[in-house]
Structure 1
Amino acid sequence: MKALSPHQTDKHASWAFAESRPDEDEVMLRARERSADLGITPVSEGTAALLTVLAATRSPATLVEIGTGAGVSGLALMRGLSRSAMLTTIDPDAEALRAAREAFADGGFPANRTRMITGRARTVVPRLTSRSYDLVFLDADKASLVFHVEQAARLLRPGGLLVVNDALDQDRVPRPAVREASTVAAREAGKLLRDEHEWFSALVPTGTGVLIAVRR
């Protein structure tokens, strides 16, 4: 294995420091335990902190989360929202949604603040109303990532925010030789958001990459 250069070592140390910076409370730690019990990989600590900051900065009233998991990302988003904001979250796994519901209750969020939909996002998302959402968070099947980015363009109001988790596909995107389907899809989604005139976008190396884009 090729040794890391001093510059690469410093970069890794900075990334590790940033990821260890958040001090998560018992509610979030229990949500992470539920994720582990269900074999679900939640967003990283750094990504969760970023989601809370983005939600608090944008002050969105309506959000869509595609890929609920056991509620870690939903908790992070809800903590940055106003008390009147509504989170719609979609996942095909009913057991994961039950775990997320427990996490939201643990966090003190009433059930009427969330709309939890059990179903495949490819079927559910096209039924959501166009230009009715302020923030869309994607953490679902990579094979459908470009489809969901295109749907986000339809769902978001002008000025709305799109956030894509694991945008580097477990850090495989920067390696040109990697041609796995999930990696190719992540590259295509990133290129779409970079090149399309209707988006301003930036890639943040938090977790395994968070792609942030604003709908013009």
Structure 2
Amino acid sequence: MLHVLRFLAATLRAKAIVEVGTGTGASALWLLEGMVEGGVLTSIDADPVKQRTAREALREAGHPPGSARLITGRAAEVLPRLTDGGYDLVSVGAAGIDAPMYLELGRKLLRPGGVIVFNGVPSTPPSSRGALASALRDLIQAVREDEGLVPVSLPAGPGLLAAAKR
């Protein structure tokens, strides 16, 4: 999955990326590797310990401090404060019950031709019950029905759902 993120960042010649879910910084490293020089990754995570770990990983990998802006907070509160139409790529690290909301918020952030990608979305909508399965079905349906998006499902890792904004 991480190599796909690097590929997307490179293909888009991404200068500005938003990442939902910093984690330990592994995906941030791959995204930065694919971005154009001078680009900025904005990574959001509610866990300050994970943010510190990621910041250290980025520093150890030699990325200058200005290449990544790590924001500690809930993505649902941070995303609406970012610039609409200002991003080449929005990466949602783990599609959870908030995935449909992240689609709505992330789509607004994309410039035309930009891509939103969700990790953890199987190619076939889950048939099981529960909040997560329901959210994933809603996400898949919303992406498929949105005429302003061009979707693709990739069998990378636990599944990747990506959509380009027309």
Assess same fold via TM > 0.5. yes
1:210 and 2:160 equivalent?
A: yes
Task: Give the alignment's Cα RMSD to 1 decimal.
Answer: 1.4
Paired residue for 1:117, among 71, 89, 104? Answer: 71
CA distance in 1, matches of 2:157, 2:56: 25
Give 5+ residue unaligned stretches, structure 1: 1-46
| Residue number among 89, 93, 106 corresponding to 1:152 in the alignment | 106
The alpha-carbon deviation at position 130 of structure 1 amounts to: 0.8
Counterparts of 1:199 and 1:164 in 2: how far apart (Å)?
A: 14
SS at structure 2 position matched to 1:193: helix
Name whichever structure is richer in strand by fraction.
2
Give, in angstroms, the shift of residue 67 of structure 1. 0.5
TM-score with structure 2 length normalisation?
Answer: 0.95
Aligned length: 166
Percent of matched pairs sharing the same residue: 39
* Residues 126 and 133, structure 2, Cα contact 8 Å, conserved in 1: no
Q: Which has the larger radius of gyration?
A: 1
Greater relative contact order (Cα < 8 A, sep 6+): 2
Question: Matched residues in 1 for 2:35 and 2:98: separation?
Answer: 27
Runs of 4+ in structure 1 over 3 Å off = none
**What is the aligned partner in structure 1 of residue 143 from structure 2?**
193
- Report the alpha carbon displacement of residue 91 of structure 1 after superposing the two structures with TM: 0.2
Which of 105, 124, 129 aligns to 2:83? It is 129
- Tell me which protein shows more helix as a share of its residues: 1
Residue 149 of structure 1: how far off its partner (Å): 0.2
TM-score, normalised to structure 1, is 0.74
Spell out, residue by residue over 1:93-138, the C-alpha distance to the aligned partner (whole angstroms, 9 max, x if none).
Answer: 0000011111111211111111110001111111111111111001
Match of 2:5 among 33, 51, 54: 51
